[in-house]
Amino acid sequence: MNAPLHLLLIPLFPFAGFLLNGILGSRLPRWLVTTIALVAPLASFAVVLSAAPSFIGNASPLAVLPYVETCPFPWISIGTLHIDFSFVLDQLSLVMLLVVTGVGFLIHIYSVGYMQDDPGYARFFSYLNLFLFFMTTLVLAGNVLLMFVGWEGVGLASYLLIGFWFQKQTAADAGKKAFIVNRIGDFGFLIGIFLLLANFGTLTFSGIAAKLTANPAWQGGILTTIALCLLLGATGKSAQLPLYIWLPDAMEGPTPVSALIHAATMVTAGVYMIARTHGLFDHSPFALGVVATVGAATAIFAATIGLVQNDIKRVLAYSTISQLGYMFLGCGVAAYSAAIFHLVTHAFFKALLFLAAGSVIHAMGGEQDLRKMGGLRKKIPITFWTMTAGVVAIAGFPPLAAFYSKDAILFAAFQQGANGRILWFVGLVTALLTSFYMFRLWYLAFLGTQRSDDAHSHESPWSMLGPLVILAILSVCGGWIGIERFGAFLAPAVGARQAESTIPHLELYLSGAAVAVALLGWFIAYRLYQQKPERATQLATALPGAYRLLANKYYVDEFYDATIVRPLRVFSKYVLGWVVDGAILGGAAWLLAGITTFAGALLQRWQSGNLRSYAAWLAAGAAAVLLFALVPWGTVWPHSVELIQKVAGH
């Protein structure tokens, strides 16, 4: 076996950063806060990097077997249930960790510039480090329960960071919304965990996988139920239909948070979870079909909403939901390595897009409305060029990152028979929409004429531009590793990639189609927003119904409000509030209080403060005792002794 890898250090560094900045941050000088905040993810990243070589080359035992590190003390040990604090490092978690700590570190650097004037500087970084602690725990977890701890933890960090500017009512509301919607997903996840425990007797990923491998005939049934429960959890965390509604509102948080948590890392936890428990899904074709359908539906659904949004961050948020849909689609067609590949490239280009958008917002002095931007190309050239790299990458032009990863998913979908062709077609239309709305954003923000008279637009400091440049390079080059090599590397963890298609050059044709729709999307955006800007508004007025439907996000929030939130409110107010709390609980409390008050009012008369009345009672008491002791009751009243004994309980 190799030398120990010290996996525990990976989450512990950010945790130390969280404690230091969280407790002492407000008293430390700013440079020290910055140093602590940056060293924590960097150290974790270094530990992950130092572990990476152990997985390369077939000679290493880690190339085939995961590395397990178990805390010597048991975590939960009740009866036959034993759960340890165990961390697992295999190809899958290694890739995730590299993304989480690497991109996380870059976004920490960016935040130093972005948050420099914020009074909550130390608080912000302590939350960011807390997020990294939980996220690395989630990724490294060797059993479902520990993963759930990380899962809940990132939800907490997400809540804290969305509501970071809690003085703003919308931000506080958005934080609550994210947390509550995620709770619905977590409910599914928890039920899944209980079912796993009941049916497998173990919660370790290796144990579950071993049981599934041992029983290849075990299909569907309870496995479908478990898989669907886990999927519900994943749709909550990864913002898929029907629980995606929290993510657009989460844009109320600071932009680096949107980049790190709500684009690059946390929201991909659902995809990671499905890839991690892929054995379950592989044994349930129905659940896989649901995953693929949810993914494809979310992809096109969110993309259509993204077409008409005017807030630069909301466009990106819907784009994130749409891209996560692609990843679910990939998982649903059992192309886990393709899904993870897209997860990685998406982390690069979407973090880039968000950070660049943050730089734009910074330059515009807080303005997020695309309609008020324009002509920023000359003012902020570095942001412009890095953003361009991100836009071209997400649109799916070769040889940039998303071309390879999106292509791998669509290719895998296409090979799944007739249903797969439908999924593929949906994915292709989504690619068209993606290309259109990203170029729309690009034209509106950077080209054309300046639409606001704010002349102070300025380029951001280098702490913000540096990460942009690095992420731009990664967005351009990230896909060059190719799905073949990436899939082969991940194969020990998520299973081998499917066999090549029998149709010759199929992948080439499909790639051609993808590039064609990307070009088409760009062309439409070019015609509408560059050549004839008035066309866009004409189109919107020509189709008022469709435009309003999209601009109002299909009225999903309103629908949930009417069907769930309002009935729940009414139920809470009248049934729970008035009947249960007011009448039953309140009544019981009032009754108790009333009895006590009444008894007190009666007994109060004894406590008059009058010395002679006390003395009289004392004398009366003494006389009663004497009477009881001295009078020969047996002779006076023959039955009295029995009566006294009965009363005394003998």
Partner 1 sequence: MNFSSLLQQEVPVTWYLLLSALLFSLGVVGFLIKRNLITVFMSIELMLNAVNLSFVTFAHQWLHCDPLLSQACMLAQPHAVRGQIFVFFVMVVAAAEAAVGLAIIIAVFRTRATLAVDRIDLMKL
**Residues in contact with partner 1 by the rule CB under 8 A:** 608-612, 615-616, 619
Q: Report CA 426 to chain centroid distance, whole Å.
A: 25
Question: Shortest approach of partner 1 to residue 632 CB, angstroms?
Answer: 19
Question: Shortest approach of partner 1 to residue 616 CB, angstroms?
Answer: 6
CB 288 within 8 A of CB 334: yes
Strands (E), 606-647: none
- Closest CB to partner 1 among residues 605, 650: 605
Q: Which two tokens stand for residue 518?
A: 């990307």
CB 437 within 8 A of CB 307: yes
Name the amino acid, one letter, at 344.
Answer: V
Question: Shortest approach of partner 1 to residue 638 CB, angstroms?
Answer: 30
- Closest CB to partner 1 among residues 555, 614: 614
Q: Counting Cβ atoms within 10 Å, is residue 607 exposed (0-12), middle (13-18) or buried (19+)?
A: exposed
Residues 6+ apart with CB under 8 A from 245: 177, 181, 556, 557, 560
- Closest CB to partner 1 among residues 57, 609: 609
- Closest CB to partner 1 among residues 59, 603: 603
Question: Shortest approach of partner 1 to residue 165 CB, angstroms?
Answer: 53
- Closest CB to partner 1 among residues 217, 603: 603
Rounded Cα gap, residues 421 and 648, in angstroms: 89
Residues 6+ apart with CB under 8 A from 342: 323, 326, 327, 330, 402, 405, 406, 408, 409
- Closest CB to partner 1 among residues 50, 613: 613
CA-based nearest residue to 522, from 447, 442, 403, 448 = 442
CB 261 within 8 A of CB 157: yes
Question: Shortest approach of partner 1 to residue 20 CB, angstroms?
Answer: 54
Question: Shortest approach of partner 1 to residue 626 CB, angstroms?
Answer: 11
CA-based nearest residue to 378, from 358, 357, 394, 363 = 363
- Closest CB to partner 1 among residues 563, 604: 604
Question: Shortest approach of partner 1 to residue 629 CB, angstroms?
Answer: 15
Question: Shortest approach of partner 1 to residue 618 CB, angstroms?
Answer: 9
- Closest CB to partner 1 among residues 619, 643: 619
Q: Counting Cβ atoms within 10 Å, is residue 546 exposed (0-12), middle (13-18) or buried (19+)?
A: middle
Question: Shortest approach of partner 1 to residue 627 CB, angstroms?
Answer: 15
Rounded Cα gap, residues 68 and 636, in angstroms: 89
Output the furthest CA–CA distance in the chain (Å, rounded): 122
Question: Shortest approach of partner 1 to residue 633 CB, angstroms?
Answer: 22
- Closest CB to partner 1 among residues 576, 620: 620
- Closest CB to partner 1 among residues 516, 616: 616
Query: DSSP letters of 120-181?
Result: THHHHHHHHHHHHHHHHHHHHBSBHHHHHHHHHHHHHHHHHHHTSSTTSHHHHHHHHHHHHH
- Closest CB to partner 1 among residues 516, 631: 631
CA-based nearest residue to 43, from 91, 87, 117, 97 = 97
State the alpha helices, DSSP H only, in 381-458.
Answer: 381-395, 401-414, 417-446
Q: What SS3 class is residue 115?
A: coil
Q: Which two tokens stand for residue 302?
A: 């969110």
* CB-CB neighbours of 38 under 10 Å: 18
Rounded Cα gap, residues 240 and 649, in angstroms: 70
* C-alpha pair distances (Å), 139 with each of 96, 119, 150, 226, 334: 7, 32, 8, 20, 20
* CB-CB neighbours of 375 under 10 Å: 15
Question: Shortest approach of partner 1 to residue 623 CB, angstroms?
Answer: 10
Rounded Cα gap, residues 235 and 247, in angstroms: 11
Question: Quick one: which H or E segment has residue 67?
Answer: strand 67-78
Rounded Cα gap, residues 542 and 600, in angstroms: 78
Q: Which two tokens stand for residue 352?
A: 């880039």
- Closest CB to partner 1 among residues 80, 610: 610
- Closest CB to partner 1 among residues 477, 618: 618
Question: Shortest approach of partner 1 to residue 622 CB, angstroms?
Answer: 9
Question: Shortest approach of partner 1 to residue 612 CB, angstroms?
Answer: 6
Question: Shortest approach of partner 1 to residue 609 CB, angstroms?
Answer: 3
- Closest CB to partner 1 among residues 611, 636: 611
